[in-house]
Structure 1
C-alpha cells in the first residue's frame, strides 16, 4: 500500500514493491531495490540501492540499510540496527534492541545500536544480542547467538557464538599457518596479528 507520489518515485528509480507490502511515509528506498510479499517498511528508515527485501520482513524506524543488502524472509530489523553495504541477513535471523525487555516497562530510550559492517553475513536463525559490532566480512554461522563484538573476517559459530576461524571476503575459509595467508578460492592476501585479520 502506498500513495501515488510514492509509486511514481518508485517507477522512476526502478524500485519494485509487491502489492501486499506496506510502506509508511516518509522513508527512503534506493534505486533498483525490490521489496517482496507482506513486508512492512516503517517511516523514517533508509534502504539503499539494489537491495533485496524478502517476504515478511519488518524494517523499523531509524534503521539504516546500505547498498546491495540482501534481507531474507522473516527478518525483523528493529530501531538501532545499522547494516552497511553488501550485508547478507539469512532467513529468520533475529536482532534485539533492548538488553532486559519487560512488557510493563517502557525502555524506548534504552535502545542499543547494533552495526553489521560491510560484507558481513548473518546466517539463518541466528540471534544478534543488541549493542554489538559485527566486523567487516565476518561470518556468523546458522543458528548462532552473538553476545559480543565480532572481529572483521571472523567466523562465529554456536551458542554462545565463539571464534571458529577466519573467512575471506568471498566467504571461503582462510587457513593461517603463520602471520600471512591467501584465499585458495579467489587469491586475496591476508595478514593476521593476534585476533586482527586484515586484507593486504
Structure 2
C-alpha cells in the first residue's frame, strides 16, 4: 500500500508519507516532513519542512502547519487553521536588511493525541495543545492548553472540558470535580486545574 497524491499537489521527494495517506489538490508538503499512515491533507494545505505528523491526522482545506510543528496521532486541524512558528515575526532585521532562514529561530506548536483545532483558529508558537483538547473555531491560542480542555476566544481561555468524543462534559450532580461525557458515559476527575480520565 502507498499514499495517494492528486496531480496538482506538491510532495517533496525528501518527504516521508505513510501508507493510506491522501494528499489533495494544491496541497504542499515540504522536504523532510514526515506524515504517518491514514492521514488526509486537504486542498491547499501546507506542511512545512521537517514537520512531524502522526497517524490518522486530518488537515482540512488550507490549513497551514509551519515547521517545526509536531502533531500526534488522531489530531484534527480545521479549515484555514494556522500553526505559527515565529514568536517575534519581522520581515527585516533592526537594520532594515531582509531576514533569511538563518536570521531567526523557529519555535514549535505541539498538538497532542486526539486534539482538535477548529476552523480559522491560530496557535501562536511556542505552545502545546493537550491530549483530546478542543480549540474552538476562530480562537487564538497564546498559552498551553490542558488535556481535555475546551478553549475559545481571543486570546483563548478555558470555557469547559471535553471528552474523547469531543462533546462538552457535564459535572455530575452531587459530585463536585467529577465530569461525565453525555455521549460515552466516561468519567473524568478535575485535579489541580487539569482533568484526568478515569481508567
TM-score, length-normalised on structure 2?
A: 0.91
- Work out whether residues 2 and 18 of structure 2, in 8 Å CA contact, stay in contact via their aligned partners in 1: no
Name stretches of at least 5 consecutive residues in structure 1 with no aligned partner: 1-12
Aligned to 1:87: 75
RMSD: 1.2
Aligned to 1:63: 51
The whole-number CA distance in structure 2 between the counterparts of 1:143 and 1:182 is 26
TM-score, length-normalised on structure 1?
A: 0.91
The whole-number CA distance in structure 2 between the counterparts of 1:70 and 1:198 is 25
Write out the 4+ residue segments of structure 1 that deviate beyond 2 Å after TM superposition: 105-109
Aligned length: 188
Name the stretch that deviates more: 126-135 or 174-183. Answer: 174-183
- Work out whether residues 170 and 182 of structure 2, in 8 Å CA contact, stay in contact via their aligned partners in 1: no
The answer as to 2:150 corresponding to 1:162 is: no
- Work out whether residues 12 and 31 of structure 2, in 8 Å CA contact, stay in contact via their aligned partners in 1: yes
The answer as to 2:185 corresponding to 1:187 is: yes
The answer as to 2:151 corresponding to 1:126 is: no
Residue 98 of structure 1: how far off its partner (Å): 0.6
Aligned to 1:175: 170
Residue 37 of structure 1: how far off its partner (Å): 0.3
Residue 162 of structure 1: how far off its partner (Å): 0.7
Name stretches of at least 5 consecutive residues in structure 2 with no aligned partner: 94-98
Secondary structure of the structure 2 residue equivalent to 1:173: coil
CA deviations over 1:100-149 (Å, ceiling 9, x no partner): 11112336441112100000000000111000110000000000000100
The whole-number CA distance in structure 1 between the counterparts of 2:179 and 2:49 is 42
